[in-house]
Amino acid sequence: MSSEPTGAEAQRRPEGSCALVTGASRGIGAAIAIALAADGWPVAVNYNSSAEGAAATVAAIEAAGGRALAIQGDVADPAVPAQLIEAVHNQLGPLAVLVNNAGVRADGLALSLSDEDWQRVLDANLGSTYRLTRGALREMIRARFGRVVNIASVIGPRANAGQANYAASKAAVIAFTKTAAVEVARRGVTVNAVAPGLIATDMTQEIPSTLSERVPAQRPGRPEEVAAAVAFLASERASYITATTLYVDGGLSA
Catalytic residue set? 166
Q: Which residues pair with 147 in a beta bridge?
A: 97, 190
48, 75 in Cβ contact below 8 A?
yes
DSSP string, 22-46: TT-SSHHHHHHHHHHHHTT--EEEE
CB 173 within 8 A of CB 123: no
Taking the C-alpha atoms of residue 148 and residue 136, their distance in angstroms, rounded to an integer, is: 8
Count CB neighbours of 105 within 10 A: 21
- Cβ atoms < 10 Å from Cβ of 185: 14
b/e string for 75-91 if b means 16 or more Cβ within 10 A? bbbeebbeebbebbbee
> Quick one: which of 88, 66, 79 has its CA closest to 21?
88
β-partners of residue 150 are 100, 193
195: Cα within 13 Å, side-chain hemisphere = 25
